[in-house]
Chain A
């Protein structure tokens, strides 16, 4: 704004550009402060009345519950913090595998939208439209109760090369003792394999991958569409096949658009993994819920939960920012 035409003395205070911003901020700050003080005051008063004043010593008490699955050795006599840690490890396990799976599937579906085959192209679009418009939680319970819990057991289990799908778990071929490749084997009607995943893990992983891949496909499609058409044509005139063009010419350019979009999809996958409780997988949230039910330590449990997810989000963001810096156009 230019200088005021009127003399400064006649400007009313509510139009003074020095007073108003200060007054607005002071008012907003005061309101927030009063509300926060009111809430915290109530919190302290109510917690004291309930005998639950903030303390972390209960974390060392024995948990008293078992975990359905844990990657670190855990039993009911071990402390709460170890149970929560086991839950966190389970969450990280599904998030890491899920990120890889969703990226692979999403990239495939996103690139399929540029196929010369009309059917494949439409199928890719339909997949995205179908998956995005159905709630993730509904998909998770569908995968768990309708698909994975309906798997046959024993001899009738679905046998794929190196992979057996049974109601008792998913059995994968892996390196056993002495780094020898071992395939799943049926002994006395029970499947044995060096690597076994629970159906709960399988259902959660499938649901997360299928759901997130639809969003990643949109990000990838947008990234590829942002590469000028001339790049395809130039590559074709140089004799590159379509697949090589995509991999060597288009993708490196598209990645600059794709990586920032992937970041938010990865974070939402990590947060969505907290729905694991719907298909019975013992992730961080489900352990925290059990812990709260047993101890009544609502505030501490919620702080731990929010803090853990925040750290996971920040970790993913940091990794993706590093990747982003690597794929950006290098200029002098």
Chain B
């Protein structure tokens, strides 16, 4: 049953390999035929349903609701601006990543994966707005945003190496800056009209809640992980109690606690809005799991590393930050990203406490008599959306892992 040892001699042709894989023995052949037939039947049925039976009007009529919830229409330009800024930042970062001196052949600036990504992006930009039957003006915006990404990507890959290093180094800072700008654009303030969190919804709420929790749970988890490995008993036991308490409770009970008890725990009026309460609960919840992921990374770094750092005269914090953490983070990366993926999926629980995230919006839409019985269409679209986001995060994590692997020769490219 395990993969057979590769026989000596020339590698068998692809066709031959496929034949041994599928029809190696009589039993295998039967299994293959049965499974193949079932798969073809399922694929055919699904295709038939998608093309002829499903009624996508429920998605088309509610696309704005699914995207931003009840965000006021006259303020939606702020979200467009934010999307454009994000697109520009993506184009710039992506282009600089591939920036090569001008004398290099241009093929290296567009490796296969990049061409594939650009192709998918263009195809999505052309197909999705059309399928959603968006108005021409909005379709044009999406095309413009896609063009912005690709033009910046192209321009910076070509001329990016001429940009002085001092400026290139600042580009990663674009992202935290943009996050703050985005928060202001979404919620208002600084001269913009306030838009209450209760008016956010759909994909917007899902993204705000998950990005907020992902950004904050990491430092919190790091502190907890270091605390749990600390030699100081009070810090260690404090971290252990916190981590085990959180990991012993289902998220929904903690969200329930946040909605119903936080108001009692804080002096009157200080308790944050329902959306922010949920976002904070998500953060504190995820921190415990991230702490455990980071702890496994810290455990993988030999003790001698910190001792060596200290004997070289580095202080304990210096040794941690400059010697131990870079190694620990590399080991913990897959597990931490796995927790981020779980966190993104866990945002759907907001729908159970009455918030209108993607799933909550879906449930609200289906409560509308006009769209009764269209749940299959809606849930399928949500499933595809979540699957793509989570799979992309996983792919990104694996790519980063290979890049950070010290024995990988491509690392210094």
- Interface residues of chain A, those whose CB is within 8 Å of chain B, are 1, 21, 24-25, 28-29, 32, 39, 42-43, 46-47, 50, 114-120, 123, 129-130, 132-139, 141-142, 145-146, 229, 232, 242, 245-246, 271-272, 274-275, 277-278, 285, 288-289, 292, 298-299, 302, 305-306, 309-310, 313-314
Contacts and interface: CB of A to CB of B under 8 A. Distances in A.
B44 interface: no
B1 A114 contact: yes
Nearest to A26: B234
Given A25-B235, A116-B1, 11 more contacts: A39-B265, A43-B261, A114-B1, A117-B28, A135-B386, A138-B348, A138-B379, A145-B366, A298-B261, A302-B257, A310-B249
A309 B250 contact: yes
A116 B28 contact: yes
Given A135-B348, A141-B359, A146-B375, A32 B341 contact: no
A137 B348 contact: yes
B252 to A, nearest CB: 5
Contacts of A232: 1-2
A289 B232 CA distance: 40
Nearest to A45: B267
Contact of B231 (A21, A129, A142, A272): A21
A178 B39 CA distance: 44
Contacts of B266: 39, 42
9 shortest interchain CB distances as A-B pairs: A118-B21, A135-B345, A133-B390, A271-B250, A274-B250, A242-B1, A298-B260, A25-B234, A135-B348
Nearest to A143: B379
B264 interface: yes
A133 B352 contact: no
A241 to B, nearest CB: 9
A285 B311 CA distance: 54
A80 to B, nearest CB: 17
Nearest to B379: A142
Task: Decide if the interface of chain A is mainly helix, strand, loop or mixed.
Answer: helix
B235 A130 contact: no
Contacts of A25: 232-235
29 contacts: A1-B310, A21-B232, A28-B234, A32-B238, A42-B265, A42-B266, A43-B261, A43-B264, A46-B264, A117-B28, A117-B32, A118-B18, A120-B32, A133-B386, A133-B391, A135-B345, A135-B386, A137-B359, A138-B348, A138-B359, A246-B1, A274-B253, A278-B352, A285-B256, A292-B260, A299-B264, A302-B261, A305-B253, A309-B249
Contacts of A275: 252, 349, 352
A134 B253 contact: no
B22 interface: yes
B369 interface: no
Interface in B241-262: 248-253, 256-257, 260-261
B351 A137 contact: yes
B382 A138 contact: yes
B359 A123 contact: no
B2 A114 contact: yes
A141 B365 CA distance: 14
A23 B14 CA distance: 67
Given A25-B232, A118-B22, A141-B359, A306 B28 contact: no
Contacts of B386: 133-135, 138
Contacts of A118: 18, 21-22, 32
Interface string B335-352: 000000100011011011
Nearest to A313: B248
B255 to A, nearest CB: 10
A99 to B, nearest CB: 16
A58 to B, nearest CB: 16
Contact of A289 (B234, B256, B268): B256
Given A133-B387, A242-B1, A119 B31 contact: yes
Contacts of B267: 42
A274 B2 contact: no
B225 to A, nearest CB: 15
A24 B382 CA distance: 48
Interface string B276-311: 000000000000000000000000000000000011
A39 B263 CA distance: 10
A155 to B, nearest CB: 22
Contacts of B351: 137
B375 A135 contact: no
A302 B265 CA distance: 14
A289 B354 CA distance: 13
A274 B359 CA distance: 17
A110 B391 CA distance: 20
Given A133-B391, A305-B256, A117 B31 contact: yes
Interface string B25-63: 100100110011001000000000000000000000000
Nearest to A297: B260
A129 B391 contact: yes
Contacts of A29: 234, 238
A232 B263 CA distance: 60
B24 interface: yes
Contacts of B265: 39, 42-43, 46
A299 B264 CA distance: 9
A274 B1 CA distance: 39
Contacts of B250: 271-272, 274, 285, 309
Nearest to B388: A133
